[in-house]
Amino acid sequence: MKFIVGLVALVGIGGGLTLTNPSPETYAEEASHKLVEKLQTETCSELSNTFGINLQEQCRNVVADLRPQLKGLIETSTERTNLGVVSHYKTKLTADSLLPDFLSGQLPSYEVESIGVATQFMFYRAEEVPAPEENS
């Protein structure tokens, strides 16, 4: 009897996790929110005020305004592996598609990996990817 109760509980938990496995759209929303937050707190805070212009505030506003484009970039740059009760997300983030050709490869690229389970995400790896070396 205990075995059957345990099995029913396990199936119930597994079913609940499967139903709450976050979607790619939810991932893109959460990842873009985290990216904007990181850019605003780390990148924008490094700017200094020049000629009385608050560049930090300007930067934060521009980054916030770019969130829809960043979300779209994340959506098109992410691979999802759906394992039923959890999903693995791997994003290769580069701004090259948003830049003119002559600026391509000038900004760093990043790889981000996360696990989505029970409507939550755990971002466990984010690292800069070295730019490919050009042949001389």
C-alpha–C-alpha distance, residues 63 and 57, integer Å:
10
Structural domain that includes position 24: 20-129
The reply to whether 79 falls in a domain is: yes
Question: What pLDDT, on a 0 to 100 scale, did the predictor assign at position 14?
Answer: 47
32-82: per-residue pLDDT in tens?
Answer: 988 888 888 888 887 777 766 777 888 888 888 989 988 998 999 999 998
Which of 21-25, 43-47, 93-97 has the lowest average pLDDT? Answer: 93-97
The reply to whether 134 falls in a domain is: no
Question: What pLDDT, on a 0 to 100 scale, did the predictor assign at position 17?
Answer: 44
- Number of folded domains that form the chain: 1
Question: What pLDDT, on a 0 to 100 scale, did the predictor assign at position 99?
Answer: 65
Mean pLDDT, the chain, rounded, equals 77
Task: Answer yes or no: is pLDDT of 90 > 90.
Answer: yes
The reply to whether 10 falls in a domain is: no
Question: What pLDDT, on a 0 to 100 scale, did the predictor assign at position 71?
Answer: 92
Which of 15-24, 83-92, 106-115 has the lowest average pLDDT? Answer: 15-24
Burial class (CB in 10 A: 0-12, 13-18, 19+), 1: exposed
C-alpha–C-alpha distance, residues 69 and 96, integer Å:
13
The reply to whether 15 falls in a domain is: no
In the three-class reduction of DSSP (H, G, I as helix; E, B as strand; rest coil), residue 76 is classed as helix
In sequence order, the 6+-apart residues with CB closer than 8 A to the CB of 61 are: none
The reply to whether 5 falls in a domain is: no
The reply to whether 27 falls in a domain is: yes
The reply to whether 12 falls in a domain is: no
The reply to whether 61 falls in a domain is: yes
pLDDT average, residue stretch 6-11: 47
